[in-house]
Amino acid sequence: MSKLLQLNRENWKVSQLGECAILMELEQEGYQTAKVRKVLNVLESVTINHLIDIIPAYHSIALLFKSPVNLHLVSELLAGINWNDKKNSQPQKYEVPVCYDLGLDWAEVEDFTQIEKAQIVETHSSQVYTVAMMGFVPGFIFLEGLDSSLACARKSNPRTSVPKGSIGIGGQQTGIYSLESPGGWQIIGRTPLSFFDVESNPPIKLQPDDKLIFKAISKDVFDHFEYE
């Protein structure tokens, strides 16, 4: 069972996601981070009784409540909200230095894509990427905008430990490991920048829809950044 609502002139399907959660999904599939962000901004600015968390994804938003909720009542509440995005926040743009010589999986990536390393670096560092979401561990940054020629499968045997700052390719996406963690993405480089600080509030400055560009640096420059 689901309800269809029009929010910001976009059709959203609203359905039950367990007894204490509601899922809002855009009818239009694929990466829709800008549209999700507009709705998220409004949801974060209004008061919804018993709402304890809002979780955005590529084309959906989950609403988590501290007690069981009724789909019909929540749909009525959502339909009555003024969906004008008062924040009207503009995406920020960041330049991210990357040492591609610290990539761990160049042989696999070159074999899978049938493209030489130098061309992969040139292509990867010439795109403008959009922050799609953060997950699966704190601060992991999923980026859309990877050139389709660089898409490659994740590792069949994930690593138990991927270094902090690693830049990887997983399927049609590229991403940044903000913390050392297990992972199965193909690692093609590493950045000396840190994007997650548990002592900061918020712990990550990036927001969905922000823009990133990668700039190739040498190992010497990486070491200077790392220990500066």
Whole-angstrom Cα distance, residue 171 to residue 23?
Answer: 25
Instruction: Please report the pLDDT score of residue 82 as a whole number.
Output: 85
Torsion angle, alpha carbons of 149, 221, 200, 209, to 10: -30
Asked whether residue 209 carries a pLDDT value surpassing 70, the answer given is yes
Q: What is the mean pLDDT of residues 181-193?
A: 95
Asked whether residue 18 carries a pLDDT value surpassing 60, the answer given is yes
| Cross-sheet strand order for the sheet of 2-7 | 2-7, 10-16, 21-26, 60-65, 51-56
Whole-angstrom Cα distance, residue 37 to residue 58?
Answer: 10
| C-beta of residue 105 within 8 angstroms of C-beta of residue 155 | yes
pLDDT band at 226 (very low <50, low <70, confident <90, very high): low
Across all residues in the chain, what is the average pLDDT? 89
Locus of tokens 């790392």: 226
pTM, two decimals, is: 0.78
Residues pairing with 166 in the sheet: 190
Whole-angstrom Cα distance, residue 164 to residue 7?
Answer: 39
Q: Please state, for a pLDDT cut of 90, what percent of the chain lies above it.
A: 61
Whole-angstrom Cα distance, residue 18 to residue 56?
Answer: 17
Give the CA distances from residue 151 to residues 114, 119, 122, 160, in Å, rounded to whole numbers and listed in that order.
11, 14, 15, 22
pLDDT in tens, 56-99: 887 899 999 999 999 999 999 998 888 876 666 678 899 999 99
Whole-angstrom Cα distance, residue 51 to residue 63?
Answer: 7
Asked whether residue 197 carries a pLDDT value surpassing 60, the answer given is yes
Instruction: Please report the pLDDT score of residue 90 as a whole number.
Output: 77
End-to-end alpha-carbon separation of the chain, Å? Answer: 56
| C-beta of residue 168 within 8 angstroms of C-beta of residue 186 | yes
- Highest-confidence segment of 31-40, 87-96, 115-124: 115-124
Domain annotation for the chain: domains and CATH numbers: 2-79 (3.30.1360.40), 93-227 (2.40.100.10)
pLDDT in tens, 125-180: 999 999 888 877 888 999 999 999 999 999 999 999 999 999 999 999 999 999 99
